[in-house]
């Protein structure tokens, strides 16, 4: 009999928890899906029919069991779980990047992926130590954006610099030189963000053009996904003329 | 002997969980603080001394007990809890407002309060049904911004309109008429946001000038605190020249 374990970073597979996420998985990463688990409380009807026919068309096994839900999902109303093999990304020199240096919160990483996909910046460098991008919490917070995100881990910012090619680098820092209002990223660029609690170390003041998002002194800083999203919004504005 | 219960919406008091939040509470809402609870694992030292002297100066009782922590705090490393009486806000006609219509997520509301304080828009109308702003989860996500936020609940948007005076109204909607790039809020205005899952109902298309934050079609929408923060960033830019 199958036994199910909690997700661990070392696993070769991860999970999409919930029907909406699993549809995103099936749509964008079909070839990586191992199985789709269906809970006994999943209602019959159009949605289930659609799920089953997508799985059948892609030759993906569907398994009816409640056990894996008890192990993997704390949420109610999670009746479908997709199991997928972890996939590898490789950043291209030719696109703009988001660079997360030592991100520690899974929800934040997922939220940033969602915004990044929204602003057409779905190429992400992640500098270790860092949260595991395949953690089901990242997958969920990304609302499926992770399946359209090209991300790659690096052991240090220096390692990243070796592959990123000539480009404008914009580290976001509270003691930065320039205001976001006054920079106009063009061509290829990288928006660089530090850890939630500590931000980027001071040595990043010497990397490219450091940038601050001006705000009142009544708060210490904006939260990380919000700062990253404002930066992406401003930097990609010209690509999204309504 | 004192017994402690979980926080409920009906309670007349709420709580700041953690030392940093409790310092914010003591700084900005001293007159509303009932008690400060200290856990036995709280280390002696400068931080504790500062806390005790602030409480003493404000004549606030400090209580050494571990019990309330077991009831109120799921987090580790929470060794201080502030108990405060709920306070009332009253929106002014003379300031810009954030209007949240039927917000359902506590973390989102707190995060929006933090950004709003950062962009000098700390006057918030909340249209019921809505999450309880005094939920300790809101307090925590706000990182203390709630103690500097003037918020008021209304039973309907019509009720809010009665008190808000002449002003520009900007409902944010996916099917809006104008792009955020093309509006320049000036004077007093209100930025209006709908529920996380459903957005604003279509009737808001007839309220003021509806606005969309342009993004790619690869995501359905930006998450609520991010959309609200981008809107505030853009609308208050001219006030934050570095």
**What are the pLDDT tens digits along chain A (242 aa)?**
678 899 999 999 999 999 999 999 999 999 999 999 999 999 999 999 999 999 999 999 999 999 999 999 877 789 999 999 999 999 989 999 999 999 999 999 999 999 999 999 999 999 999 999 999 999 999 999 999 999 999 999 999 999 999 999 999 999 998 999 999 998 999 999 999 999 999 999 999 999 999 999 999 999 999 999 999 999 999 999 76
The pLDDT assigned to A17 comes to 97
Bond from prior residue into A218 cis (ω within 30 degrees of 0):
no
Element spanning B108, H or E: helix B106-118
Q: Which fold has domain B13-85?
A: 60s Ribosomal Protein L30; Chain: A; (3.30.1330)
> B173-222: per-residue pLDDT in tens?
999 989 999 999 989 999 999 999 999 999 999 999 999 999 999 999 99
Tell me the Ramachandran region of residue A138: left when phi exceeds 0, alpha when psi lies from -120 to 50, beta otherwise.
alpha
| C-alpha–C-alpha distance, residues B104 and B102, integer Å | 6
Residues of B in contact with A240 (CB under 8 A): 181, 214-216
Interface test with B, best of A218, A231, A232 (most B CBs within 10 A): A218
Closest-CA residue in chain A for B177?
Answer: A242
Query: Scanning every residue of chain B, which has its alpha carbon at the shortest distance from the alpha carbon of A174?
Result: B242
Pairs of CB atoms within 8 A across A/B? 100
Long-range contacts (CB closer than 8 Å, 24 or more residues apart) made by A135-139: A135/A7, A135/A9, A135/A14, A135/A106, A136/A7, A136/A14, A136/A15, A136/A16, A136/A17, A136/A72, A137/A106, A137/A107, A137/A110, A138/A106, A138/A107, A138/A109, A138/A110, A138/A113, A139/A14, A139/A15, A139/A16, A139/A17, A139/A21, A139/A110
Residues in chain B: 242
- Position B74 scores a pLDDT of 76
Interface contact A222-B115, CB threshold 8 A: yes
pLDDT (mean) for B9-22:
97
- Interior/surface letters A95-118, b for 16+ CB within 10 angstroms, e for the rest: ebbbbbbbbebbbbbbbbbbbbbb
Nearest Cα to Cα of residue B195 among B121, B130, B102: B102
Using an 8 Å CB-CB cutoff, list residues of chain A that contact chain B. Answer: 111, 114-115, 117-120, 122, 143, 145, 148, 178-179, 181-182, 212-216, 218-220, 222-223, 225-226, 229-230, 233-234, 237, 240-242
Cβ contacts (< 8 Å) between B120 and chain A: which residues? Answer: 216, 218
Q: What is the DSSP string of A111-153?
A: HHHHHHHHTT--EEEEESS---TTSHHHHHHTTTGGGG-EEEE
User: Is residue A205 helix, strand or coil?
Assistant: helix
- What's the whole-number mean pLDDT along residues B28-46? 97
Residue to substitute from B215, B236, B237, interface A, most A β-carbons within 10 A:
B215
Angle at which helix A46-57 crosses helix A19-28, to 10 degrees, equals 30
The DSSP letter of residue B12 is S
Residue of A nearest to B226 (CA): A226
Quick one: pLDDT at residue B242? 60
Q: Do the Cβ atoms of A237 and B179 come within 8 Å?
A: no
Q: How far is A169 from chain B (nearest CA, A)?
A: 20
- Separation between Cα atoms, residue A150 and residue A161, nearest integer Å: 17
For residue B213, list chain A residues with Cβ-Cβ distance below 8 A: 233
In B, which residues are within 8 Å of A172 by CB distance?
none
Residue A229: what pLDDT?
98
Residues of chain B contacting A222 with CB distance shorter than 8 Å: 114-115, 118, 229
Domain boundaries, chain B: 13-85, 97-239
ipTM entry: 0.96
* The pLDDT value given to residue A74: 77
**Subunit contact A219:B117, Cβ cutoff 8 A:** yes
B123-179 tens-digit pLDDT: 999 999 999 999 999 999 999 999 999 999 999 999 999 999 999 999 999 999 899
Residue B46 structure tokens? 């400068």
Nearest to B185 by CA among B202, B167, B165: B167
Nearest by CB to A219, from B145, B216, B220: name it: B145
Q: Give how far the C-alpha of residue B206 lies from the chain's centroid of Cα atoms, to the nearest Å.
A: 27
Given a contact cutoff of 8 angstroms between Cβ atoms, the answer to whether B67 and B2 are in contact is: yes
Q: Three-state SS for A52?
A: helix
Gap between the Cα atoms of A57 and A52, Å rounded: 9
For B57, the 3-state DSSP assignment is: helix
Q: Which chain A residue has its CA at the smallest distance from B238's CA?
A: A181
> Within 13 Å, how many C-alpha atoms sit on residue B74's CB side?
5
What's the average model confidence in pLDDT over B223-232? 98
- Distance between CA atoms of B76 and B17, rounded to whole angstroms? 11
- Write down the CATH number for the domain with range B97-239: 3.40.1280.10
Could you tell me which chain B residue has the CA closest to the CA of A149? B218
Cβ–Cβ under 8 Å, residues A148 and A27: no
- Same CATH topology for B13-85 and B97-239: the answer is no
Q: Which of B223, B237, B241 sits opposite A114 (nearest CB)?
A: B223
For A39, which DSSP code? -
Chain A residues lying within 8 Å of B242, measured CB to CB: 178-179, 181-182, 212, 214
Please provide the average confidence, as pLDDT, over all residues in chain B: 96
Side-chain-side CA neighbours of A185 within 13 Å: the count stands at: 29
Nearest to B218 among A117, A178, A212 (CB): A117
CB contact at 8 A, B159 and B132: no
Q: Which residues of A touch B179 (CB under 8 A)?
A: 241-242
CB atoms within 10 A of CB B168: 17
């Amino acid at each position: 009999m199958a036994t199910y374990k909690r997700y661990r970073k070392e696993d070769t597979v991860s999970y999409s928890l919930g029907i909406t996420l699993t549809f995103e998985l099936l749509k964008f990463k079909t070839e990586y899906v191992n199985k789709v688990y269906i809970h006994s409380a999943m209602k019959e009807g159009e949605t289930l029919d659609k799920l089953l026919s997508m799985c059948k068309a892609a030759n993906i096994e569907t398994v009816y069991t409640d056990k894996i839900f008890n192990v993997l999902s704390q949420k109610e109303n999670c009746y479908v779980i997709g199991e997928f093999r972890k996939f590898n990304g490789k950043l291209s020199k030719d696109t703009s990047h988001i660079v997360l240096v030592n991100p520690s919160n899974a929800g934040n990483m997922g939220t940033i992926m969602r915004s990044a996909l929204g602003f057409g910046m779905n190429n992400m460098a992640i500098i270790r130590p860092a949260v595991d991008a395949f953690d089901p919490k990242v997958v969920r917070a990304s609302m499926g954006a992770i399946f359209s995100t090209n991300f790659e881990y690096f052991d240090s910012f220096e390692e990243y610099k070796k592959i990123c090619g000539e480009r404008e680098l914009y580290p976001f820092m509270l003691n930065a030189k320039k205001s976001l209002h006054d920079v106009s990223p063009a061509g290829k660029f990288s928006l660089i963000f530090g850890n939630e609690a500590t931000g980027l170390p001071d040595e990043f003041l010497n990397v490219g053009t450091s940038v601050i998002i001006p705000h009142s002194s009544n708060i210490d800083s904006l939260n990380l996904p919000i700062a990253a999203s404002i930066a992406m919004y401003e930097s990609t504005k010209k690509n999204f003329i309504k």
